[in-house]
Amino acid sequence: MSDGAPVLAGLAEDELDTFVSIAIRRAEILEDLRSPQAGDAWSEVMIYEARLAEITRPGEIPGSVARVGAVTAALAAGRRSEASRLAALYLAEASLPEEGREAIQRAFQEDQERLSHRFPALSKSGRLAELADWRARASDLHVFPRAAA
């Protein structure tokens, strides 16, 4: 997790739920304004949701929602490698309900659709996978951290 892990570790589920709600609203507003801080705001949502996922059971509604929320927020932040890591972790949990599994997979499909609209030429030529490969390589180099996430 982040440097704030000790602080978050002391928060109860209800407190984290409140932080998630506030952070989501902030991220949505920043996104609507096309603010460069929107990605950071979605990363904050991801951190809270991931912490909620740690303290809740995957088979219960709050736990499933937190897992889907963490993956979705990571994708919204442009942190696709982190979204993939979280998805693999959560999908490996045997008690995660089918609805949660489908929602995680749907989040990746919707992200692909967003990329297709954003990069129509790559999409039309079937080269979106190359973009994903480039982003993965670039994130290892930390050349363009925002673009590579």
pLDDT in tens, 112-131: 888 888 878 777 777 767 77
Task: Please report the pLDDT score of residue 1 as a whole number.
Answer: 45
Q: How many domains does the chain have?
A: 1
Residue 38 lies in a domain: yes
**pLDDT surpasses 70 at 3:** no
Q: Which helix (H) or strand (E) holds 118?
A: helix 98-118
Residue 28 lies in a domain: yes
Residue 66 lies in a domain: yes
Residue 104 lies in a domain: yes
Is residue 147 within 8 A of residue 138, CB to CB? The reply is: yes
Average pLDDT of 82-88? 97
Task: Please report the pLDDT score of residue 137 as a whole number.
Answer: 63
| Residue 2 dihedral angles phi and psi, to the nearest 5° | -95, -175
Is residue 128 within 8 A of residue 119, CB to CB? The reply is: yes
Give 62's pLDDT tier (boundaries 50, 70, 90).
very high
What's the mean pLDDT when you consider all of the chain? 87
Residue 60 lies in a domain: yes
Which tokens sit at 55? 């303290």
Question: Cα torsion at 65, 57, 84, 29 (round to 10°)?
Answer: 30
Residue 139 lies in a domain: no
Range(s) of the domain holding residue 51: 5-118
Task: Please report the pLDDT score of residue 2 as a whole number.
Answer: 47
Residue 93 lies in a domain: yes
**pLDDT surpasses 90 at 139:** no
